[in-house]
Amino acid sequence: DTAVSQTPKYLVTQMGNDKSIKCEQNLGHDTMYWYKQDSKKFLKIMFSYNNKELIINETVPNRFSPKSPDKAHLNLHINSLELGDSAVYFCASSPHFGAGTEAFFGQGTRLTVV
Amino acid sequence: DAKTTQPPSMDCAEGRAANLPCNHSTISGNEYVYWYRQIHSQGPQYIIHGLKNNETNEMASLIITEDRKSSTLILPHATLRDTAVYYCIVPSGGYNKLIFGAGTRLAVHP
């Protein structure tokens, strides 16, 4: 079983559209994250939720809205997509938000905005 | 976050040990050192982490200097599948907020 799974794996869409990326973890972890990796290959944290509560919001445009219906799921909804949103988005989870624990990453969703 | 400095790239022959250095001279006493890697087009993969003592698991060993200002990740017998970008990360504030730098691109060759 995949520990952290994201869907879809690839997403091609036009500018101005609204899209969602789903993430699920079956590890029983309390904390989930979204990261963005742009064309320059830098990984940047976007959001983190701990027990369904937002604890990190890294100056991400409000077109990006994470939603956590339960602690096993953290979905990312993006409104009014722009060309600059093209990137690979990674979901991750960790047992808790404190130091000393490892994070497990999904395989990524490659978003292409045309 | 505590700033980490890594060489941009390294080479290693297959079957030999790969020693990847990391400087984190501003690390605080309660901050961990983490190592992750990213194999091309895949999600980052956790390797190992430590606080003060050296650590070893099935993937690698982590050697932390006594003053904790630097560390070395050791892959004892590198294989072609270890070719990846390796990230040394020191999250700050007692939280598991990972800030990825440019990492070290390790190329393992036959």
pLDDT tens per residue across span A49-101: 998 889 888 878 999 999 999 999 999 999 999 999 999 999 999 998 887 88
Chain B's closest residue to A100, CA to CA, is B32
**What is the spatial distance between Cα A103 and Cα B7, in angstroms, rounded to a whole number?**
24
User: Does B44 sit within 8 Å of A99, measured CB to CB?
Assistant: no
**What is the spatial distance between Cα A31 and Cα A34, in angstroms, rounded to a whole number?**
11
Q: How far is A81 from chain B (nearest CA, A)?
A: 23
Minimal Cβ distance to B97: which of A4, A56, A105 = A56
More confident residue, B100 or A99: B100
Q: Which residues of A touch B (CB under 8 A)?
A: 4, 31, 35, 41-45, 48, 56, 90, 92, 94, 96-108
Total number of residues shown for chain B: 110
pLDDT band at B2, cuts 50/70/90? low
> B1-5 long-range contacts, Cβ below 8 Å, gap at least 24?
B1/B89, B1/B90, B1/B91, B1/B92, B1/B97, B1/B99, B2/B26, B2/B27, B2/B28, B2/B31, B2/B90, B2/B92, B4/B88, B4/B89, B4/B90, B4/B101
Q: How far is B48 from chain A (nearest CA, A)?
A: 8
pLDDT of A4 strictly over 70: yes
| Residue type at B23 in one-letter notation | N
**What is the spatial distance between Cα B97 and Cα A10, in angstroms, rounded to a whole number?**
26
User: Does A99 sit within 8 Å of B31, measured CB to CB?
Assistant: yes
CA–CA–CA angle A56, A68, B45 (5° rounding): 65
> What percentage of chain A reaches a pLDDT higher than 70?
99
Give me chain B's average pLDDT, please: 93
B2 Cβ partners below 8 Å, 6+ apart? B24, B26, B27, B28, B31, B90, B92
> What percentage of chain B reaches a pLDDT higher than 70?
96
pLDDT at position A98, please? 83
**What is the spatial distance between Cα A89 and Cα A36, in angstroms, rounded to a whole number?**
5
* Backbone φ and ψ of B58, nearest 5°: -70, -15
